[in-house]
Structure 1
Amino acid sequence: MSTNAATDPMIGRMIDQRYRVRSRIARGGMATVYLATDVRLERRVAIKIMHGHLADDQAFRERFIQEARSAARLSHPNLVGVYDQGAEDDTAYIVMEYIPGITLRDLLQEHHALTPEQATDILRAVLAGLASAHRAGIVHRDLKPENVLLADDGRIKLGDFGLARAASQNTATGAALLGTIAYLSPELVTRGAADSRSDVYAVGIMLYEMLTGEQPYKGEQPMQIAYQHANDTVPAPSVVTPGVPSELDDLVTWATARDPDDRPRDAREMLEHINGNQQRATGQYRTAVLRPENATAILPAGAPNPDRTRDATDATTVLEPRRTGGAPTASDRGRNQPGPRRTGQTPGALSPASQRLADKAAKRRKRGWIALVVFLVLALAAAGVGWWFGPGPGGNVRIPQVAGKSVSQARQMLEAEGLRTADRTGARFDTVVAKGRVSATAPAAARVVQKGTAIQILVSNGPKMIALPAIVGQSVSTAQAALDDDFDLQDPQYQFSADVAKDTVIAATGRSTGGETVDLSSVSEYGQRGPVTLTVSLGAVPDVTGKPVADAQAALAAVELTVGTQEARFSDDVPDGQVISATPRDDPAVKGTAVDLVVSKGPTPITLPDVHGATINQATSTLEALGLKVSYPDCTNVLCGFYDWKSLLPVRSTDPGGGATVHKGDTIALAYDQ
């Protein structure tokens, strides 16, 4: 429940340099409970602060401190935990576990009556926590649906040990009866004595109320209800709600017996009785196991994947070389056949003309062989040079990309290309490659170099660590300007904050090389070009307390908040139709968060009781207990000075009269005969 500092000065206050009060949860007769933040442990807590007008009352202070001491002695899943207790500026406070949710009273108001199963589940949790208190010798003495908390996550906890005391100190203080009258045991009404059986009686009344939706005893005056507790017997719930099992009827009768000796001696005995009945009825406790909505199917190895298509493979056919037969050439035929023999010439002798022709042909043949030899030599030389500068040791190669590989993998890849690796590796900062992996090479990858060139491997040292400037508490523009040159700024995240001004950085987070989130406000250095996400304040959620509903909706819509539920309540402080409180559903709230409103129905109406015939003191006490003011004239009769006339003179009439509708704070005039 949200309340601004204008109506509650505790909102926003830092208590004991540790607890920052954020909003008001509830207000009782002794204290007010607030939602607060424990800035030391960074968790939400409920802090109970005693009313200032009670600070000078030593009895109230002692009772308030007694609550902390009593509850701190207890530790049980069904009891609200107490973390701390102290005093500041004469104001006592208790720090407790914060339980977001509703009370059993809220549940009964919404559903009227519960099913037997629901009532039994809640009863078992209440008895389990109460049994822990009884084992420790603590009597609660103020059990009622308002003190049974139903958390949003399903936990059920018993709280508010404000009237608790040791079981050995089992008498009330003075003549006043402590606790709520509807749940007081007969012995508390008649003798002011309380022990663990008194708590059991109150539990029985609560069980009756859960099953029927109403309390067993009713009356216009508290004393009428107290009289019924002392003299009447609580009826069976099935009389009001047919269908209630007889076992629960018997349980209510047992727990609410007028004679304490006829009740369970403590909560543990009553709990064991319930558990025993359930085991006998069912033979075992049933546990419901919820099946997850989505399951992950794992395909076995080798199973076909319907989403994967197989590429077709083209076969390569290698053709054998075709063999061709060769016919003899004309020159071949000529070498195998004798030339024509001239008639009349000496065999082997040539004519002068023929000899000259033959000499020229011989010279041509000699030059052809020389040219062929030169050609072959040149071809062999070219092939050798091509091999040397190609696949041979004198060739060139492109340096492969080895970034991100391990050093051994990089060496293998470079040597496979005919390159050498330098004996010593180098190092450099790298914002991308993880520390210890290969960052680059010198010369750089993709360069063409001669085979056998020595290549140095450069290993990543990770990103260069840079000192972080002041971020948190700075304006978003200042922080972005300081970070932009060295880091990778991500889109900011925005949230509402009552403690941080609008457009001011609330937090800054980064990411480690392992992927974990890093709170940059807790480190002094961060890797260069590392991602940085700023959380920026949108300012406080608009305070719409005291505004008409339409104005509240407009104010929330202006900052992109929506209105959730609207609950109407009576209020003695806020006029009809105006907002009592506004509570965002998300903490912290962001744009789009729904805000639930509580709207005033005006002052709580009170039906004025008829105090005609009561003494002036009795009438005054009755009316003031309802929050009304009382006035009456002084007695002018001379005899009034000789006796306590206020305790004896009866009220003749009231203005306004009995049955009239009045409101808290109204003044009732008493008339009497002097």
Structure 2
Amino acid sequence: MTARILGGRYQLQEAIGGGGMAIVYRAVDTLLDRVVAIKMLRAQFAEDEEFVLRFRQEAQAAARLAHPNIVNVYDVGVDEKEYYIVMEYVDGPTLKDVIIERAPLPVEEAIDISKQICNALSQAHEQHIVHRDIKPHNILLTKFGVVKVTDFGIARAVTGNTITDRQATSVLGSVHYFSPEQARGAKTDAKSDIYSLGVVMYEMLTGSLPFSGTSPVSVALKHLRERFIEPREMNKAIPQSLENIVLRCLVKSPDGRYADMNAVKADLADAVKHPNVPKFQMPLEMNEDETIAVPVVGEGFSDVSTELRKSEKGKKWWKRALLYGGIAILAIAALGAGGYAAIEVVTRIVRVQNLALPSVVGKPEKKAVQTLEQAGFPADHISEKYAPNANKPKGTVYQQDPTGNTQVKKTREITLYVSQGAPKIKVPPVAGQPYDQAKESLVSAGFSADNISEHEQESTSVPDGQVISSSPAAGTKVASNGKIVLNVSVQKMTTVPNIVGESYSQAVQDLETAGLKIGKVTHNKISNMPDQTVYYVYPYLEGNSVPVGSTENLLVADNPGGSSTTPDNNTTTSDNSTGSNSTTPGDNTTTNTTTTGAGGTPQPHEVDVTVKRPHGQPVDLEITITDARGNNRVVVNQTLSETETFQETLYLAPGQSGDLQVSENGQVVKNYPVQG
């Protein structure tokens, strides 16, 4: 094969694929020196005008399309009565290979592939070309993840004579992926491709097909009549928004599907952004009394016989015998022709009495079944499915299929969806969270915001506004529509008493009476104060309103030989009675210190610090203070662009030393000691 050259130009290398109608080879275009794919019509079909016409039709259809997501067609030719199409060579697997290897695919990957397929089919539909055989086998993936749609072998232009055309009345396409209208042999249009895309998305997301069977006939009938297992029942990772797209694509009536591929693509783009949306409700199934044309590919007619036995019940035996005999002759003819050609088997289901189907939604399960039986529907045609439902009590019908108050066949299968009650969810831990955040956590877990309430509870350990606990407690499984109460801290407030100047024991008693805790107690040697006298408190000052249980720190004089009475408040030192002005020649910082008051308690010392910026150069300024309130407290931390004066206060007891330190760009430029 490697030595053969088609059309004096294309050197065949090896077979890389094929189907019932053609074989695909990898080849080299010796004129342009590039690798191509060549699709050759099988030899047994070269004399069949219909297959040759279909082969040419593929070439014409694909040649009209130019899109990055469609395999390009370069050339068409005939060599010694062998028809071939020269196409773009795609070095990558088919989507079917990918699905077999690692389905279900991640949601993001499935969406990306689906959007690219939409791009390709949108382009084809704009050219009035319907593919009619969308399946994973006809979707190639390059090593860069680019989708390439191929095989327009049964595509056709949408024209006014589509229904009457001989090919249009033949059921073509792969039975697992084709639409209900293809199964009936009815007119196909762009919405048939939408249905097939829905099957492909279903398979990517679940790893399974919506319908399967022992023969093409049985699968075709399922496309027409049966409901499939919804994707989220098989793969919980699928967001509701994406399942809705698959469900809408797979509506049996074309009118219920998307209007076009652009609408599908728009919803795919939005699915990731808005995953939590209401569930799409599938409409009623199509009428069962439809004429059905189905393909038979090397299979027996057991499924057809089964359907006919059901539908023709009541006819005379000789009519059934003639019918079965005719079917057998058609089967033999089809198998004798090679088992590939799609033939039509037309069956007419005998008309069964229509009955008024009552609505039983909202009724208890047993009562619903009784109601249907009283309406004339056989008990063996009524089945129940159970699932959690937050809107209906346990044991109540929340949905029925078909819907109530409609006319349906007496033999129609009726499914009742019965509530198992609201699904149960574990209450997440929310203690310590602010109320609004805790409520959001519960809603994210699946609880209703309307069922979450707040209960205020006094607490001395949990900050005001934070959740103390939940009822039911964290970890408890609760129905999603159950009520949850959040116990939220409300702190009782108290006023800081004046204990400066009191003995340590009296101060402790007064603080405890006020509901405050004793924190750090620091003893300093203060020669002019009575022993064990509180001379300073922090962080709270007299009269502050603070939560009950807050901690107050104390500074206590340690003067064992001192007087037991408070010294005269008029006692002062020379250092504290007058203001002082401190400057350094050439320095940009000026301080002015003023002392007010007297006595043994820490007194405020006002210090004015002027930082000069004569050239306006910005500087990172930091001012720290060491006094009775603590060491190296940062009181200024900012970038300064111009000269500015800061007024700071040091609290110092008599005899106590303090310090104000100025740093510029991380370097200490000045220290200003202050004496109490």
TM-score by length of 1: 0.42
TM-score by length of 2: 0.41
Work out which of the two has the higher radius of gyration on C-alpha atoms and give 1 or 2: 1
